[in-house]
Amino acid sequence: MASLPAVPEKSSPKRDKYRKLMSKGYSARQIAKKLEPDNPRKQKVIRGEVHRIAATDEAVQKRVGEISKGSAIMALPMATEALIRRASRGRVDAIKLIYEATGFHNPRVQHEHSGDIKITMDLPRPGAQESLNPGKADVDISEADVVED
């Protein structure tokens, strides 16, 4: 089936009307309700035709994509305020998203360090002690229990 040639989308006044309404931002349900307000059976047929056109027509897809992108851009300030409110309440997922969106953090960046790290501490050793308990007999350490981690 994949090797069959693509069938060009037919044009008809009805399909052109669907395309025009879709390019204005109407959904399939709104188009069906507008064209057949009292017939649910015809509304279902119209919704199917509109979905088929939307799935195959590149111009409609491009226009709907532009409308969606515009709507998303217009909603950014409100969404950002809501995200900030959630992050300020301590929601870790919101905090991470704010950091990624603002560029303070990128989880995809691998931080690789080159070279060796050498730490030296110049501390004097403590002096030897005669006994832990002066005046008392030392406890035999061989009697102690060995505890392994």
Lowest mean per-residue pLDDT among 27-31, 42-46, 76-80, 101-105: 101-105
Neighbour-count burial for 84-109, b at 16+ CB within 10 Å, e otherwise: eeebeeeeeebbeebeeeeeeeeeee
What span, in angstroms and rounded, lies between the C-alpha atoms of 31 and 43? Answer: 8
Mean predicted lDDT score pLDDT of the chain: 82
What span, in angstroms and rounded, lies between the C-alpha atoms of 78 and 80? Answer: 5
| Model confidence at 90: pLDDT above 80 | yes
What span, in angstroms and rounded, lies between the C-alpha atoms of 32 and 47? Answer: 6
What span, in angstroms and rounded, lies between the C-alpha atoms of 53 and 14? Answer: 11
Q: How does pLDDT run across 51-72, given as a tens digit for each residue?
A: 999 898 888 888 888 888 888 8
Q: What is the pTM of this model?
A: 0.48
